[in-house]
Structure 1
């Protein structure tokens, strides 16, 4: 499994508020270790890696998570709590056992 987090940089160069909130939740819950890569969707640069992946998956909200399992279609999560419940919780349970 490969997990990509995409965060958005706004016109003024700052990280979007929701992206900061999700980053804090990931850090506070010790979940950042499950994120394989973080891409930045810089609204000032349509060619930034995060903007490209957002276009590829037709996602207009940030932050979002791309979960890839070999041989399966990538799953996109735009809601942190749904992502945490469906993807991270099982990983945490496996790690604990």
Structure 2
């Protein structure tokens, strides 16, 4: 499984507040270790990788998560709590002794 976090940089160069909040939740809950890649959707640069990925998956909200598993279509999560419950919780339960 590969998990990608896509977060946004606003036109004035500042990080989006919701992206900061979600990243803080990931850190507080020791979930950041499960994120394989972070892409930046830079609103100042239409060619930024994060914006290209957002366009590919037709996502207009940030942050969002892309969950890729071999042989399956990528799943997109735009809500942190749903992502944490459906994807991260099972991973954490597997790692718990």
TM bracket (short chain): over 0.9
| Corresponding residue for residue 33 of structure 1 | 33
Q: Secondary structure at the match of 1:61?
A: coil
In the other structure, the counterpart of 2:51 is: 51
CA distance in structure 2 between the partners assigned to 1:37 and 1:15 by the alignment:
17
Instruction: Provide the alpha-carbon RMSD of the alignment.
Output: 0.5
TM-score by length of 2: 0.99
Unaligned residue ranges in structure 2 (runs of 5+): none
TM-score of the two chains, using structure 1 as the length reference: 0.99
For these two proteins, the number of residue pairs brought into alignment is 97
Displaced runs of 4+ in structure 1, greater than 4 A? none
1-structure distance, mates of 2:46, 2:78: 20
Shift of 1:70: 0.3
Shift of 1:46: 0.8
Structure 1: stretches of 5+ with no match in the other structure: none
